[in-house]
Chains A and B, each alone.
Chain A
Amino acid sequence: MEMVPLTHYLFLSATLFVIGVVGVLVRRNAIVVFMSIEIMLNAVNISLIAFDRYLNLHDGQIFSFMVMCVAAAEVSVGLAIIISLFRNKPTINLDEFNIMKS
C-alpha cells in the first residue's frame, strides 16, 4: 500500500497553521479568535503525529495528547475570562477592551 509522503502532512499542517494565524490577526470577535487558536494547536498535532509515524516512535502521540490537555485547559480558562469580561462590558469585540491601556 502506497503511503502518503511526510511532506504532504507537513504542507497540510503549515497551511492550517497559517489559516489560524490569519484568523487571530484579522478577526476581532474574541470567540472566533479562540477558535483560530484551536486551529493552530490542531495543525501542530498533525505535524507531531506525522513525524511520529515517520520515525516509528510513540513520543509524538504522547506529546499531541499533552497538547490536547493544554488546549482543554486553555479553552476552559479563556472562556471563563470572556464571560467575566462580558459581565464587565457587554461586548466581545477585542478592540473595545482597552482598560489595561492607561
Chain B
Amino acid sequence: MELLIFYPLAGICIVLALGVVINNSPVNSAMSLIGMMLGLAGIFILQQAHFIAILQIIIYAGAIMVLFMFVIMLLNLKGKGEDDSWISRDKDLLLTVLSSLLAVGVLYKIIIIINAGDFNSPALPPDSFGTVREVGTILFTKFILPFEMASILLLVAMIGAVVLAKSKVD
C-alpha cells in the first residue's frame, strides 16, 4: 500500500528535479522545483514526519521559492544574450558530458554501497511519531541549544542580506 504511494511520488520528484536542470528558462525551473518540494512533502508524510512535511511546504515551497521567483522577476533577464541558454558555450560540451558521466558513476557506486548494506525491516513506530507535539518537545528540551543557534544564524543571514543588497559596489 505504501509502495503504491511511494513510487509515483518518487517518480514525480525525480522527473521534476531533472526538469529543474534541463529547463532553459529559470521561471520554468523554479516551477519544477516547487513541484518537487511538494512531492517531497508527500514523501515526508509517508514517513510519518508530518511536522517536517508542513515545514517543507511553508519554508521551501512558500518562502524560499517566492524569494527565487522575486529575484528572477527583479533581474528580468529577457534578451540578455546567452544567460538563458542550457550550456553557455559549445566548447563546454565535453566538460558537461564528462561531469555528468562522473556524477552518474558516483550514483552507481552509491547504489552498490546501499545494496550491500544490511537493513532489516524497520520496527513500526508509534502513531504519535513525528507529530508537532513529539518533535516540539524534543526540540525545546534536548535540542534547545541548536535551536537558539539557528535563530542567531537566521538573524545574521537577515542582516547580511540587507547589507549586501543595500551597499553600492564601486
Contact = CB atoms under 8 A, between A and B. Distances in A.
Interface residues of A, number: 75
B61 to A, nearest CB: 11
Contacts of B6: 4, 8
A87 B50 CA distance: 41
A65 B139 CA distance: 10
Contacts, number: 233
Contact of A12 (B14, B59, B64, B168): B14
Interface in B16-50: 17-18, 20-21, 26, 29-30, 33, 36-37, 40, 43-44, 46-49
A40 B74 CA distance: 25
Nearest to B55: A68
A23 B33 CA distance: 12
A49 B44 CA distance: 7
A36 B20 contact: yes
Interface string A68-84: 11111111110111111
Contacts of A68: 55-56, 59-60
A50 B114 CA distance: 13
**B contacts with A: majority SS:** helix
Nearest to B83: A93
B100 A53 contact: no
Nearest to B165: A80
B160 A39 contact: no
Contacts of A2: 1-3
Interface of A: 1-12, 14-16, 18-23, 25-29, 31-32, 34-36, 38-39, 42, 45-46, 49-50, 52-56, 58-59, 61-62, 64-66, 68-77, 79-88, 90-93, 95
20 contacts: A4-B2, A18-B106, A23-B21, A32-B29, A38-B33, A38-B64, A45-B52, A46-B43, A49-B49, A56-B129, A59-B138, A65-B150, A76-B158, A79-B67, A79-B161, A82-B75, A84-B167, A88-B169, A91-B81, A92-B75
Given A5-B119, A19-B14, A75-B68, 14 more contacts: A12-B14, A18-B104, A28-B87, A28-B92, A32-B26, A35-B30, A46-B44, A52-B49, A53-B49, A58-B138, A66-B150, A80-B164, A83-B75, A92-B77
